[in-house]
Structure 1
Amino acid sequence: MGEMIGYARVSSRGQNMEPQIEALTRAGVSSEHLYQEKVSGTSRSGRAELAALLHRGIRKGDRLVVTRLDRLARSLRDLQNIVHDLKEREVDLVVLEQSIDTSTAEGRLFFNMLGAIGEFETELRKARQREGIDAALAKGTKSPFKGRPSTIDADRISSLRQQGVTPTAIAKELGIARSSVYRYLHSE
């Protein structure tokens, strides 16, 4: 049997990682096999420790141990990709707080059920969104996607420019980007 490799992550500097480290240590993860980082988990980009763990730190027969699934991945797609990679390398996943251990039939079943439920929720959300869009279109609305309301007062830009105020001063006066002022002035 291989090593127990632990991964702990918190999203912000203000969060305490110690409870995760203590739980992973109690589960049998040694300090030399513990990867930890303080970074947002919305994607794998910027997560250097996770990348190191997945590319160099884990081998066939090892067990990746995390406290909760959301410490490992924040989206179902990312989680599925990670688990697929682990499965191909014959590495099991153990999630302490959610009682998942993919080395057992029950653990694989529970994990797959969680994944199926997550996928079902995503499909329901998409269907509700589509229904809302279709309802808006049926009312004769051109498009339910109108974008963000404009924060630029075009008349004020024009007025200030006619008074001889520079684009930089206009941007400062209105609290907008200078590039926005130039974009508006060139579109006249």
Structure 2
Amino acid sequence: MLIGYARTSTLEQLAGLEAQQKELEATGCEKVWSEQTSSVSKRDKLAEAMSFCREGDVFVVTKLDRLARSVRHLGEIIEALEGQGVGLRVLSLGLDTTTATGKLMLNVLGSVAQFEREMMLERQKEGIAKAKAEGKYKGRKPTARLKSEQVLALISEGQSKRDVARELGISERSVHRICTSQH
């Protein structure tokens, strides 16, 4: 059985969701789960669709970015599907893990994506080092330290560190650091 999953990030992307649903149905998906939620939010319909799958089924998505938020997350999804004896088909890539070539291509794509991310992080690190050397990069403003007087005043009034942190919008660790640096 072909089982489809469609997702868009926001409510404004309704046309994109409908287009995915139509493409999945045209491909022959008998059941299609759809949801509008960001990739980092809890995705209940994805979990439902995956748990519906049975051995021999194929899980179908229109694009890889509709399914996974990262290479690691993709790996987890594939591992879960493989554990159930379920294949994965990504329509935009012509990828089907029920074939040996499809499995190879998925591994290559995952490796390329990971390499790309590592290169981006390396370039970012180099850019920051260059900006620091030129005196253009100062890092983020130390927001918690700017609130030191307020922290100490609230602590002296008897408030707990947790309450102070919550009230001032800083971490409990920052409150603790400010208090210990004053002793």
State if a TM-score over 0.5 links the two structures: yes
Larger Rg: 1
Secondary structure of 2:6 counterpart: strand
Alignment length (residue pairs)? 156
The 1:5–1:136 alpha-carbon spacing in structure 2 relative to 1, beyond 3 Å, is same
* Corresponding residue number in structure 2 for 1:53: 49
Coordinate RMSD, CA, aligned: 3.4
* Corresponding residue number in structure 2 for 1:147: 140
For 2:21 and 2:168, the matched residues in 1 are separated by 48
- Deviation of 1:146 after TM superposition, in Å, equals 2.6
Q: Return 5+ residue gaps in structure 2 as ranges.
A: 151-165, 170-174
* Corresponding residue number in structure 2 for 1:7: 5
- Deviation of 1:123 after TM superposition, in Å, equals 1.6
Structure with greater proportional helix content: 2
- Deviation of 1:85 after TM superposition, in Å, equals 1.2
Q: Return 5+ residue gaps in structure 1 as ranges.
A: 159-177
* Corresponding residue number in structure 2 for 1:21: 21
* Corresponding residue number in structure 1 for 2:81: 86
For 1:87 and 1:129, the matched residues in 2 are separated by 36
Letter of the 1:38 partner, please give it. Q
> Taking every aligned residue pair, what percent have the same amino acid on both sides?
39
Confirm whether residue 66 of structure 1 aligns to residue 61 of structure 2: yes
Which 4+ residue blocks in structure 1 deviate beyond 3 angstroms? 129-137, 178-181
So what's the TM-score if we normalise by structure 1?
Answer: 0.69
Letter of the 1:147 partner, please give it. R
- Deviation of 1:133 after TM superposition, in Å, equals 5.0
So what's the TM-score if we normalise by structure 2?
Answer: 0.70
